[in-house]
Structure 1
Amino acid sequence: MRIGFGLPVSGTWATPERVARIAEAAEQRQYDSLWSFQRLFVGAGQDVDPVYRSVLDPLVALAFAAARTERIRLGVAVVNLPFVSPAYLAKQVGSLDVLSGGRVDLGLGTGWSEAEFVATGASGQRRAARTREFVAVLRTLWRDEVSAFDGELYTLPPGRMAPRPAQEGGVPILLGGSVPAALRRAGEIADGWVSRSAHDLTRIGRDIELVRAGAEAAGRDPDALRIVCRGVLFRPGHELLTGSWEKIREDVAWLGTQGVTEVFYDLNFDPTIAGPDVDPDAAEERALDILHNLDPRGLS
C-alpha cells in the first residue's frame, strides 16, 4: 500500500510557506505522494462546501511543491477535462513531469458545477465520448513520433509536442467517476481510478470490481491498474478512517484487501483545517500532527 498526503490547497492554510513545509515534511516522513484538486470558480449564491470556496490551481501548487522536493510523487485528483483543451493540458502536465524528474500523476474528471461549465464555455454533454477522445489525444501527444487525432469532439492535426514527459509512455492517467459506466471506463482506457471525497468507502470493493471488469473486457491486465483512494479523515457519520491512529491504520489495511493500491490523506476536506475561518497556524499544527502520527513507516 502506498500512502500519500494532500497538499494545503484549500482555505486559509493554503499559503506558500505551508505548501512548502507540508511537502517537505511528507517527503521527509517517506510519504509516497502529494495531491491537489481543482476548483475553478464559485457562482454568487452557489451553495458549495467550505472546502471549495478558495482553492489554489492544482498544477501550479504541484509545481511549487516539486521545487521543494526531490522524490515524492505529485498527483492531481482531479482536473475536470471539459474545462481545458487536451493539447494545452498535455503541454502543462508534460512540462511539469520534465521539471519534476518524472513524478506526475494526472487524474481526470468530467466536472459537476454548472457555474464552472458556464464560466469556461464548456459543454456538459457527451461526457463519456469526450473522456475517451481526451485521453486518446493525451496519449498520442505523449507517445507518438507524429501525433494526430480526428475525432467528433477533438481534432489534432499531424505534428509534434516537445519535450515529451520524462516518464516513458507519458504521464499516468487516472480517471475519476462513481457511476458504473465511469468505473468500467477507467479500467478500459486509463492507468487506474481515483475515488472522490464523498465516496462510500465501505462499498469500494464492489466499485473496484467494476473497474477491473472494464479492464478485462478491454483485454487489459486488471492487476496492472492503480486504485487510488482519497482518504478524508475523521468525517462525522463515517465508520472508516476515523478514531484512533491505530484504527485508521487498520482501516487503510482493510482498504488494501478490497483492492486499493494507494491511499492519500486529504485534510483539505477537514473543516477544522481547511475551513475559510480557521486560524492557519492552528491548521498547520494539526495537519503536521496527523502527518507525523500516520507516518507510512508505521504501516505494515
Structure 2
Amino acid sequence: MRIGFSVPQFGPFADPDRTAAMCTALEALGCHSLWVADRLLAPLTPPDGYPGGTMPARYGTHLDPLLALSLAATATERVRLGSSTLNALWQPPLVLARALTTLDLISHGRLDVGIGLGWMREEYEAAGVPWRGRGARLEETLDVLDAVWRFDTVVHTGPLWKIPESTVLPKPLQDPRPPVLLGGFTPPALERVGRRADGWLAASMPLPYVHGLWAVAVEAAERAGRDPGELRRVFRVNPDITATEADPAETHHRGTVRQICDHLKAMCSAVTDEVLVDLQLTTDSPDEYLNLAAAFLAELNEPSPRRLRPV
C-alpha cells in the first residue's frame, strides 16, 4: 500500500511559501505521493449535490492546482505528484497538455495526471464550458492528450477541437506519457477507467460499494483487451477524526485515526493501491497538519492485526 497526502492549498494553507515548506516536510516524513485538488469558486448560495452535505467554506480560498503542483515539484525530490482531481474540461486540451508536459519536466518525471468531471454546475457556468455533454468532452480531451504526448506529428480532428498537422514539443519525460487516472463513481465513469485509463481516483467508502464499482472497471478492461491487474486505485479520504471510537459503519470517513486506517487497509487489496489522506479540512495549522500526517503514516505502516484501542 502506498500512502499520499494532499498538497496544502486551501483555506489557511493557501500561501505559496507555506505550501512549499509543508511539501518538503511531508516528503521528509516518508510519504509516497502528494496530490492537489481543484476548485474555482465557492457559491454563497450552497450548491446542490455536494458529496457529504455542506460544501466547506474554506474551499473559497485556494491556490491554482497546477501552480501549486509546480511548488510541490520544486520543493521535493522523490515523491510522486498528482492531481485528485483536476477538472480538465475548463480549458482546451492542447493548453492543458502543454501545462502538464511542463509539470512532468519540472518534476523530472514524477507526474500522475488525475482527471475528473467535477460536480458543481456553477463552476462550469463561470468557466464558460457547457455542463451537458461532459462525458463526450472528456473522451475527446483524452484523445488530444494522447495525440500530443505520443506522436511526433500531432494531428486531431474531432467534434470539438481541430489541430492541424503540427510539431508540439517538448514531450513529457515519462514515456509514452504520464499515467492518467480518472475519477468518478458511476458505471459510465468506471467503464471509462477500465477502457482507457491507468487507474481510478476513488474515495474511501464502504467495501461493498468499492467492489461493485471496481467490477465495472475490471469487466471493461477485459473487454478492451487490457490487463485489469495493471490498473491503479487511489482511495481518497477527508477524515473526520474523533477522540473515541465511532460507529463501525462510518469508519470509511469518521472515527479514530486507527479506525480510519483499518478501513483504508481493508480497501487496499493490491500492492499498487494507494491512499490519499486530505487533512486540509481537519487541521488549521502546519504543525497540526504534519503531526496528524505522521500519525496516519505510523498507523498505516503498522501491520494488521494488532491491539485494538482508540487513538
TM-score by length of 1: 0.89
Are the equivalent residues in 2 in contact too, given 1:241–1:247 (CA < 8 A)? Answer: no
Counterpart of 2:218 in 1: which secondary structure?
Answer: helix
**Any idea what the Cα deviations from partners look like across 1:103-122, whole Å, max 9, x if unmatched?**
11111111222221121110
Q: Is 1:213 aligned to 2:219, yes or no?
A: yes
Q: Which residue of 2 aligns with 1:59?
A: 66
Q: Is 1:190 aligned to 2:197, yes or no?
A: yes
Give the one of 250, 262, 278 matched to 1:250: 262
- Identity rate, percent: 33
Instruction: After superposing the two structures, state which structure 1 stretch, 154-163 or 164-173, moved more.
Output: 154-163
Structure 2: 5+ residue runs without aligned partners? Answer: 48-54, 304-311
Q: Which residue of 1 aligns with 2:89?
A: 82
Are the equivalent residues in 2 in contact too, given 1:86–1:138 (CA < 8 A)? Answer: yes
Q: Which residue of 1 aligns with 2:277?
A: 265
**Any idea what the Cα deviations from partners look like across 1:109-142, whole Å, max 9, x if unmatched?**
1122222112111011222221111101101101
Q: Is 1:109 aligned to 2:116, yes or no?
A: yes
Structure 1: 5+ residue runs without aligned partners? Answer: 274-279
TM-fit CA distance, 1:244: 3.8
Counterpart of 1:108 in 2: which secondary structure?
Answer: strand
Are the equivalent residues in 1 in contact too, given 2:7–2:34 (CA < 8 A)? Answer: yes
Instruction: After superposing the two structures, state which structure 1 stretch, 29-38 or 246-255, moved more.
Output: 246-255
Q: Which residue of 2 aligns with 1:121?
A: 128
Instruction: After superposing the two structures, state which structure 1 stretch, 147-156 or 37-46, moved more.
Output: 37-46
**Structure 1 CA distance, aligned partners of 2:40 and 2:155?**
29
**Any idea what the Cα deviations from partners look like across 1:151-183, whole Å, max 9, x if unmatched?**
112222211221111111111111111111111
Instruction: After superposing the two structures, state which structure 1 stretch, 48-57 or 234-243, moved more.
Output: 234-243
Give the one of 171, 174, 183 matched to 1:176: 183
Q: Which residue of 2 aligns with 1:200?
A: 205
Q: Which has the higher contact order (CA 8 A, sep 6+)?
A: 1
* Change in CA separation of 1:49 and 1:241 when aligned onto 2, cut-off 3 Å: closer
Q: How does 1:3-152 map to 2 (within 5 A)?
A: 3-47=3-47, 48-152=55-159
TM-fit CA distance, 1:9: 1.2
Counterpart of 1:267 in 2: which secondary structure?
Answer: coil
TM-score by length of 2: 0.86
Q: Is 1:293 aligned to 2:305, yes or no?
A: no
* Change in CA separation of 1:103 and 1:260 when aligned onto 2, cut-off 3 Å: closer
Instruction: After superposing the two structures, state which structure 1 stretch, 24-33 or 35-44, moved more.
Output: 35-44
**Any idea what the Cα deviations from partners look like across 1:224-255, whole Å, max 9, x if unmatched?**
11111112222687222544443333222201
- Corresponding letter in the other structure for 1:189: R
**Any idea what the Cα deviations from partners look like across 1:53-101, whole Å, max 9, x if unmatched?**
2121111001011111101111111121221111000000100100110
**What's the C-alpha RMSD, in Å, of the aligned pairs?**
2.1
Instruction: After superposing the two structures, state which structure 1 stretch, 106-115 or 185-194, moved more.
Output: 106-115
TM-fit CA distance, 1:44: 4.5
Q: Which residue of 2 aligns with 1:222?
A: 228
Counterpart of 2:291 in 1: which secondary structure?
Answer: helix
- Runs of at least 4 residues of structure 1 off by over 4 A? none
